[in-house]
């Protein structure tokens, strides 16, 4: 009997491990749904991302959406503005704050850093600083497309936060395209008899100064009918060149720009010598009458009868 009891006791001991294994499987089970959630999220990516700062609640359907800074694109050959543009587009507030790059319009990038910070924290004090910084941005010339697009996005962000206090803002950059394509759109003749005229026209002998119209960051050279000519200008322009003489028998030439990244578009430059004014009739002087050579009548003596 003792042997039987011991055998039963020994046989009963292995029953514990199955219970322990069943408990471990149950505990590990909850993480299983996670892959399904990830798959669903990747299949339907959001078109508008919530701001990284404190949330005021879940996004409201149809709520305010900021159209964020569109794609540049930036290139290694771009001036400092290209680097700062990309930092803002990626909402890299620290990169903007720590930058020591020199720019033509520093007030724009100061406002960019302040607004980026306000978007990140959503603190009223930071929004006030962003609004004050934007007020200090001067008027921008038409050729500064990047700075113009940056300030448009910054103004919209501040305006939406002011108009919708307490509502979570969304930033939509998914559908943003290149709003500043680098392209040649036309020419303007700056001197000579046809300065400012449209279409642009220069004398057959060339020599007139011509300005490129469009959006350019850098210009390596200008091609006139495929032949390179010297170009003058600083980053973002204006860029100017002197028209070469017309080719034999040609009345126009095609102008293109070579740059990195490429600049699209072409423009026609016309050649025409100004027509001299037609001379009018030469005024004539009336002829001088010949002198009177006839003899004067004889004098009649006093008292005589004629």
Residues 66-93 pLDDT 10s? 988 887 667 777 889 999 999 999 999 9
Dihedral sign from CA coordinates of 151, 157, 160, 165: negative
What is d(CA 191, CA 89) in angstroms, rounded to the nearest whole number? 41
pTM of the complete model: 0.63
pLDDT higher than 60, residue 154: yes
- List of domains in the chain: 49-172 (no CATH), 183-271 (2.60.40.10)
Q: How many residues does the chain have?
A: 306
CB contact burial 209-220 (16+ within 10 A = b; e otherwise)? bbbbbbbbbbbe
pLDDT attached to residue 175: 52
Mean pLDDT of 126-150: 94
Strands (E) in 49-182, as ranges, are 49-50, 65-67, 170-172
pLDDT attached to residue 26: 28
pLDDT higher than 90, residue 59: no
Residues 15-41 pLDDT 10s? 444 443 333 222 233 333 333 333 333
Q: For residue 282, what pLDDT band results from cuts at 50, 70 and 90?
A: low
Average predicted confidence (pLDDT) for the chain: 78
């Amino acid at each position: 009997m003792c042997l039987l009891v011991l055998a039963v006791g020994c046989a009963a001991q292995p029953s514990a491990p199955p219970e322990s294994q069943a408990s471990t499987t149950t505990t590990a089970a909850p993480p299983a749904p996670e892959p399904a959630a990830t798959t669903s999220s990747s299949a339907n990516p959001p078109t508008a991302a919530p701001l990284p700062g404190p949330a005021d609640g879940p996004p409201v359907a149809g709520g305010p959406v900021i159209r964020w800074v569109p794609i540049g694109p930036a290139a290694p050959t771009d001036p400092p503005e290209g680097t700062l543009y990309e930092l803002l587009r990626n909402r890299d507030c620290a990169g903007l704050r720590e930058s020591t790059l020199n720019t033509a319009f520093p007030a724009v990038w100061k406002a960019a850093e302040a607004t980026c910070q306000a978007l990140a924290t959503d603190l009223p004090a930071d929004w006030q600083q962003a609004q004050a910084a934007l007020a200090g941005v001067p008027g921008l010339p038409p050729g500064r497309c990047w700075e113009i697009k940056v300030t448009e996005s910054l103004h919209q962000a501040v305006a939406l936060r002011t108009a919708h206090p307490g509502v979570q803002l969304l930033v939509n950059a998914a559908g943003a395209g290149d709003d500043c394509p680098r392209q040649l759109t036309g020419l303007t003749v700056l001197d000579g008899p046809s300065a400012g005229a449209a279409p642009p026209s220069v004398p057959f002998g060339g020599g007139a100064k011509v300005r490129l119209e469009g959006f350019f960051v850098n210009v390596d050279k200008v091609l006139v009918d495929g032949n390179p000519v010297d170009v003058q200008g600083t980053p973002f322009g204006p860029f100017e060149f002197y028209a070469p003489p017309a080719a034999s028998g040609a009345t126009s030439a095609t102008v293109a720009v070579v740059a990195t990244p490429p600049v699209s578009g072409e423009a026609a430059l016309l050649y025409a010598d100004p027509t001299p004014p037609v001379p009018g009739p030469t005024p004539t002087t009336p002829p001088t009458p010949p002198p009177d050579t006839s003899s004067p009548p004889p004098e009649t003596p006093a008292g005589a009868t004629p």
